[in-house]
Structure 1
Amino acid sequence: MPPYIDGFLLSIPRAQLATYRAVVEQVAEIWKEHGALEYVENVDDDAGLEGTRPFADFANAKADEVVIFGWVAFESRAARDLVNKRVAADPRMEALVSPLTNGERPIFDARRMVYGGFKPLV
């Protein structure tokens, strides 16, 4: 079966990037332990191409935020569903998510996160 990709786009405060990175490095390992083929997160580096809409606009990023673009690759959609179920049940995830708060304010607002599952086209 062809690979299946979960893609996501989110913004976080630039000042929290080091904390976010430390957490998602561990999150990536958990996803791979449960069967993900690849887990990748990237931080924006180039504002965009003239005549196109930049990711920062689409992510509704504030002036003090950076945009994160990432994906998780799986063997298939069925494998994705199983891996995500296992990750959600992994007790390590709850412990890792709690450092993503800065006092009462979360580092990122999941309601602003863009997410989707993608099957191959080309």
Structure 2
Amino acid sequence: MYVQGFLVPVPEGNEEKYREVAEKFWRIARDYGALSQFECWEDDIKDGVQTDFRRAVNLQAGEKVVFAWMTWPDKETADASHERMMSDERMKTDFGAPDGSDMPFDGKRMVYGGFRPIVQNVA
């Protein structure tokens, strides 16, 4: 399994719009091999001493942090799917302006990366 993780700053009033965008993205990612998607709205985040979720995305007043992750069968599938997803026609039509100005969050402050699980426990 391979995990892609995301931290996203979202204006408080855009929770529903963000959820709708995440649902649209899931339909595309699933078509290219994603196994699961989790999008989690900030509920209980403490301020850290050195760093924290808010500092990681340079959170502004009136914004919340979304903690999200998507799982893939393996890194190769995730990597191969990226180019295909970005060229999918739905990416051009379902998310507004090509420059991202219609998105319900500031993508320039999104933090993301790929991770290889080292412990996985499921009840």
Instruction: Determine if the TM-score, normalized by the shorter chain, exceeds 0.5.
Output: yes
What SS does structure 1 have at the residue aligned with 2:61?
coil
Aligned mates of 1:107, 1:82 — CA distance in 2 = 27
TM-score with structure 1 setting the length: 0.83
TM-score with structure 2 setting the length: 0.83
The answer for unaligned runs of 5 or more in structure 1 is: none
Match 2:93 to one of 92, 95, 100: 95
The answer for unaligned runs of 5 or more in structure 2 is: none
What SS does structure 2 have at the residue aligned with 1:45?
coil
| Residue 50 (structure 1) shift | 6.9
| Residue 53 (structure 1) shift | 4.1
Match 2:54 to one of 56, 59, 71: 56
| Residue 51 (structure 1) shift | 6.0
Spell out, residue by residue over 1:47-101, the C-alpha distance to the aligned partner (whole angstroms, 9 max, x if none): 2277674312222111200111111111111010112222111111122221764
Q: How many residue pairs align between the two structures?
A: 117
1:41: which partner in 2?
39
Between the two proteins, what is the percent identity of the paired residues?
33
Higher helix share: 1
In structure 2, the CA distance between the partners of 1:9 and 1:39, relative to structure 1 (3 Å rule), is same
Spell out, residue by residue over 1:2-33, the C-alpha distance to the aligned partner (whole angstroms, 9 max, x if none): x1111110101111221111121111121111
Cα RMSD of the aligned pairs, angstroms, is 2.1
2:24: which partner in 1?
26
Greater CA drift, 16-25 or 64-73: 16-25
